[in-house]
Chains A and B, each alone.
Chain A
Amino acid sequence: MTLSLPPFLACCVLITVGVTLLLERSLVRALAGVVVLSNGVNLLIVTASGAPGRPPFTGTAAPADPLPQAMVLTAIVITLGVTAFVLALVHRSWQLTGSDEVRDDTEDRRVRLRSRRGAD
């Protein structure tokens, strides 16, 4: 199997950027991370499916494989739907708290409360 280097490098960059953004506290940044990450992953699927530049017609010598493209299309549609949902979450979070930062979980807050009480 041959793999062309430039798209593969692009995948690496996109996935790295996506993961970095995903680790942020702010929901909007995390969402941007998801969008970039999913583009990187989709590009990876296309890249992994074989050498670029082959004709899309059957009957030619080495036609392009249509299956990865169908898969990427499905993945794009799914990401679109989930992105819309996360945007709604961001909006609701902003309505309720005035920010889009994800708060600490219950356990963390309880431990902090307890240690503060112990210190008093």
Chain B
Amino acid sequence: MDRLVCVPVLLPLLAAGVKLAIGARLRHLQSVISLVTLGLTLAVSVLLLLAADARGPLVTDLGGWPSPLGICLVADRLSTLVLVVSSAVTLCVMVYSVASAYAEQEHDAPMAIFHPAFLVMVAGVADAFLSGDLFNLFVAFELLLSGSYVLLTFGGTESRIRAGATYTLMALASSMLFLIALAVTYAAAGTLSMAQLALRFTTLPGHVKLLVELTLLLAFAIKAAIFPMSAWLPDSYPTAPAPATAVFAGLLTKVGVYSIIRLEALLFPGGPVGTLLMWVALATMLTGVLGAVAQTDLKRMLSFTLVSHIGYMVFGVGLATVAGMAGAIFYVVHHITVQTSLFLVAGLVERRTGTTSVTRLGGLMRAAPLLAVLFFVPAMNLSGVPPMSGFLGKLMLVQAGLAAGGRLPAMLVAAGLVTSLLTLYAVAKAWSAAFWRGPRAVLPGTVVESEEYTGEDPTVTTTAMPVALPVSVAALVALGLSFTVLAGPLSALAQRAAGELMAREPYVVAVLGRPA
């Protein structure tokens, strides 16, 4: 069973290699390989989650090197839970992109380049979730980033090259910060194995610990798009192809959040950074959602809500209580699913109409009622309308914040409620403009802004939509809704994961084979 831990990393990498070797030929084989790979990854992840929940963390030492010396992969409740959700989401996105590639017969490139890059990114995400070593976490980040560079600049149009340049340089800068943090960590503690670091940090002086923690946090905060390091996200994500944006929005920022959760819970429990995290969470929520309210483009609006809702998760981590962590974990699970489905629907809208600009859209309710429903449900879920999982996640965080007591948590609870309300305003405004109002291409009296982002996408077609496209999105929306039905077991699992995380003992014992 322990050996299975490396499957979610190795299988997509292997498939990416095979697909690169096949090239642009054998389209059916290509899509079969992609779908089977991601399906198997999902199955293995579910198995791992069940095993990790029943027996405690599973550990695999890579290359047969024993743990503090070599690199290990660790699957505990938290990592397997996010792994299951991310595998399910990537499978749906892959179905979407296979279906849309089949619809555009003239394009061979999607199969030959898009899929391998996508699979490399999936492998990187899985590696980041499972990594038990900080340097391996760095490699995982680079793996998923290099996949994402290719996906973001896919097709090489002018707007994508511009967005890709900003994104790549930003990611490189954060990688360099991460490396500096690794150098400092290694100089201070002499190891990069997370379990061993957890033990060694207890004996280090406070200011050294704080320095290491802040440098690592800075590197992760850029990846997670936490204010004031969030400006790159709404600038770069909206230009990418729809499935790429969807999976970026769902997974890449969450990898940053996951790393922050791991860092705060395992390596630096009870430090002074919790207060700082709550302040940045406050700023992230409010600046993000105010940006979202001002947007007139669906994808840009969604990117700003993405930034804003990262604040909720950081809030949960900043509380540094089991209830807060559980809320953050539940919110990560909910947000991965909902944000991905919203971006996929935006992709469907773009496909149907050729634009995602709210000033040009209109009357889609009648023209495409299915899209209207598919957008409406996750949008309401995102803004936290009861009884959906967005509401439950926010409720868990609010309860945790109130239980923690004090002025700052109370302020964050208030900010969270305001953010939720403004999110509802932003998505409702966009939905009623794009779907509900009458069909008119341009509002009378408005000047179409010539330099406005128009979604210049060479692959846009308004031809008939293959059934698999809306079906894959509907599956994701249904997954998001299922978190409402399964809220009891899921929040219990999040509680257990948070408990295990904050106890630290199970993780350290599983990796090092002896108690702390």
Binding site for B on A (CB under 8 A): 1, 18, 22, 27, 30, 34, 37-38, 41-42, 44-45, 47-49, 67-68, 71, 74-75, 78, 81-82, 85-86, 89, 92-93, 96-97, 102-103, 105-107, 109-110, 113-114, 117
Contact = CB atoms under 8 A, between A and B. Distances in A.
A34 B186 contact: no
B449 A92 contact: no
A107 B183 contact: no
Nearest to A65: B190
B161 to A, nearest CB: 5
Given A41-B176, A86-B168, A78 B139 contact: yes
Smallest CB-CB A-B distances: 9 pairs: A48-B187, A45-B183, A48-B183, A106-B453, A105-B235, A41-B179, A44-B183, A78-B142, A96-B158
A5 to B, nearest CB: 15
B32 to A, nearest CB: 29
B180 interface: yes
A54 to B, nearest CB: 15
Given A30-B169, A89-B168, 18 more contacts: A22-B169, A41-B180, A41-B183, A44-B180, A45-B183, A67-B186, A68-B186, A78-B139, A82-B142, A85-B146, A85-B150, A86-B172, A89-B165, A92-B161, A93-B161, A96-B161, A105-B162, A110-B449
B106 interface: no
A103 B486 CA distance: 47
A114 B296 CA distance: 14
Contact of A92 (B146, B156, B168, B450): B156
**Which of the four size classes fits the interface of chain B?**
35 or more
13 contacts: A34-B176, A38-B179, A41-B176, A48-B187, A68-B186, A71-B135, A86-B165, A86-B168, A89-B164, A89-B168, A93-B162, A97-B158, A113-B451
A113 B449 contact: yes
B158 A48 contact: no
Contacts of A30: 169
Contacts, number: 98
Nearest to B235: A105
Contacts of A92: 153, 156, 161
A68 B165 CA distance: 30
B186 A45 contact: yes
Contacts of B235: 105-107
A105 B166 contact: yes
A18 B175 CA distance: 14
A55 to B, nearest CB: 19
Given A45-B182, A74-B139, A81 B146 contact: yes
A102 B182 contact: no
Scoring B156, B166, B179, B186 by chain A CB atoms within 10 A of each residue's CB, the highest score goes to B179
Contacts of A105: 162, 166, 235
Interface in B107-148: 135, 138-139, 142, 146
Of the candidates B149, B182, B183, the one having the most CB atoms from chain A within 10 angstroms of its own CB is B183
Nearest to B238: A106
A82 to B, nearest CB: 6
A41 to B, nearest CB: 5
B184 interface: yes
A32 to B, nearest CB: 12
Contacts of B443: none
A71 B235 CA distance: 32
Nearest to B156: A92
Contacts of A18: 176
B229 to A, nearest CB: 15
